[in-house]
């Protein structure tokens, strides 16, 4: 089955720790995205990548980092510099920028 | 900065009713518009994509229309069912930018 997988589903982090969220797709899509969703708010773009070895900051990139070494994978690291990291994180992909987006199941991160 | 609004924020209807969800935007220079549904604690599921040159798209009981001149898109759900209960979000893609999401409409279909 083609799709997007995210792991883990739930993640707990202590303050001061970095954590990495996994996102993998087997749709052969060039573009991949990371969004953050907070209760009562819309989705906000953290980072996006249009092609391997290239990525761009979104609206709320501070405290986050990404890499795109393989077409299939776009991991997101939440660093200790992110002031309020507790949120629901969603990964998405599309054939190219501006094409239909498909989403993974999400990772819920809680900082203890 | 483009703004996308969805009114109402929440809606409850009895099963079987036809309903319309609204998505309004301030900048009409869109590339495409996509409707999603999101179940609690889950990712987004793509429902329909309308290209800027199109006026509407249909899939089963769903019909989405796009009127760029008035800055509005509507999602029509026919013969609603309890399984349609979810949050519905619209997202707009602007040339040279990324998707801008609306805040969503939370729909409850009562049996």
**Of the partner residues A41, A98, A102, the one whose CB lies closest to the CB of residue B103:** A41
At residue B99, the pLDDT reads: 86
| Contacting residues of A for B91, CB less than 8 Å apart | 43, 101
At residue A33, the pLDDT reads: 96
| Burial readout A21-39 (b: 16 or more C-beta within 10 A, e: otherwise) | bebbbeeebbbbbbbbbee
| Contacting residues of B for A101, CB less than 8 Å apart | 34, 44, 46, 91, 99
Q: What is the pLDDT of residues A33-92, one digit of tens each?
A: 999 999 877 899 999 999 999 999 999 999 999 999 999 999 999 998 888 999 999 999
């Amino acid at each position: 089955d083609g799709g997007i997988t995210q792991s883990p589903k739930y993640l707990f982090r202590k303050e001061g720790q970095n954590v990495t969220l996994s996102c993998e797709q087997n749709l052969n899509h060039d573009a991949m995205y990371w969004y953050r969703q907070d209760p009562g708010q819309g989705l906000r773009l953290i980072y996006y990548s249009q092609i391997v070895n290239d990525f761009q900051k979104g609206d709320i990139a501070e405290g986050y980092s990404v890499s795109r070494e393989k077409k299939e994978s776009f991991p997101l690291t939440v660093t200790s510099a992110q002031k309020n990291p507790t949120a629901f994180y969603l990964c998405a992909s599309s054939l190219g920028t501006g094409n239909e987006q498909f989403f993974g199941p999400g990772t819920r991160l809680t900082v203890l | 900065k483009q703004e996308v609004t969805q009114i109402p924020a929440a809606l409850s209807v009895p099963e079987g009713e036809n309903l319309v969800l609204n998505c309004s935007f301030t900048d009409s220079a869109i590339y495409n518009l996509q409707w999603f549904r999101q179940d609690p604690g889950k990712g987004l599921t793509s429902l329909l994509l309308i290209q800027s040159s199109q006026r509407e798209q249909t899939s089963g009981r769903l019909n989405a229309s796009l009127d760029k001149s008035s800055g509005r898109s509507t999602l029509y759900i026919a013969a609603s069912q309890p399984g349609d209960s979810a949050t519905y979000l619209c997202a707009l893609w602007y040339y040279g930018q990324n998707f801008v999401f609306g805040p969503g409409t939370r729909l409850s279909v009562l049996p």
